[in-house]
Amino acid sequence: MNTPPNVHVIAYDGLCTFEFGVAYEVFGLPRPEAGPGWYRFTVCAAEDRPLRAAGGLSVSVDAGLDALDEADLIVIPGWRGLSEPVPQRLTDALRKQHGRGARLMSLCSGAVVLAEAGILDGRRATTHWRYLPALKDRFPNIRFVEDTLYVDEGDILTAAGSAAGIDLCLHVVRRDFGAELANGVARRLVVPPHRDGGQAQFVASPVPSAHESGRLGPVFDWIRQNLGDPIKVDGLARKAGMSERTFHRRVIGATGLSPGAWILQERLRAAQLLLETQPHRPLEDVSLACGFGSADSLRRQFRARFGVTPSSYRRRFGGPPAEGRGGLAGLASQDQPPGE
């Protein structure tokens, strides 16, 4: 980007330390590899009093809410409790900044702050699964999305649980600076470079037993290495040394997805990576390499999952980011070329 985006993070009494740390780790740490255009980071106090943070920490903040006038992205890193009132000066400030075009992003329970400000009315949003029933009852005008990591509405972004905040922050970096730099940040964090927002918040058995891991892990690795080939579930079950029925049940328990849905997810991820890193590779080649069989099949599956065509996605993420264009949410509203 030509002008470094200003990221301002809201601090408050009872600050959620982990979510604040996520925002700082992604947006606040120096990134020499990004050059001079990397984010500028500011912390703004929502209250004129000594602030405490979870874990027994005290927080000293120099800037107040007036500093938000310079913000391009405002992050609310959780909130101290769903029943805790949100100061009116904070909700007023957020409405003002959103009205002038600043992006707003909440992590985990921070969605309640945006909801109290009325900014989420009529919008899609998410938060931690534990809070969804209470917030649905309290804010019926918000279209809460269950079982998803994050929701990108272009100018408003919301993340589910604490760790999903990492995924959303990396998504914003991809949106602002492209996949290569986002992947570099992910490597520094030692986390997967991209989990799309539609992934489930949790799975039934997130940590398989050592015995199960030893059988499923090599099969998952084999699938990723052979996405371009025909893959049949019965053959995978034999590789895992299980009956097809047991294999199906074990994969759902470990990933939250059926084997077929998990393979499709991996194929779509592989297609995203090729579209980002090989911008001149013919779409037919990309589709064959990822196991879709044809460019038409790839277009259909890609658009069903992400709401955009592969070509639109490649224009956004396959080269330097264009000024004034959003991520997948922004792309979905653009006119698509004929025949795509």
In this structure, what token pair is assigned to residue 77?
């890193």
Mean pLDDT throughout 153-166? 91
pLDDT at 244 over 80: yes
User: What does the pLDDT look like over 6-26, one tens digit per residue?
Assistant: 999 999 999 999 999 999 999
pLDDT at 338: 32
pLDDT at 328: 43
* Pick from 119-133, 217-231, 310-324: least confident: 310-324
User: What does the pLDDT look like over 252-263, one tens digit per residue?
Assistant: 887 778 999 999
Q: pTM of the prediction?
A: 0.68
Mean pLDDT (the chain, rounded):
86
Confidence of residue 216 (pLDDT cuts 50, 70, 90): confident
Confidence of residue 194 (pLDDT cuts 50, 70, 90): low
pLDDT at 327: 41
- Structural domain boundaries in the chain: 6-189, 210-256, 262-332
Confidence of residue 168 (pLDDT cuts 50, 70, 90): very high
Which of 75 and 187 is assigned the larger pLDDT?
A: 75
pLDDT at 337: 36
Which of 96 and 36 is assigned the larger pLDDT?
A: 96
Is the domain defined by 6-189 classed in CATH 3.40.640.10?
no
Task: Give percent of the chain with pLDDT exceeding 90.
Answer: 61
Residue 56, amino acid: G
CATH homologous superfamily for 262-332? Answer: Homeodomain-like (1.10.10.60)
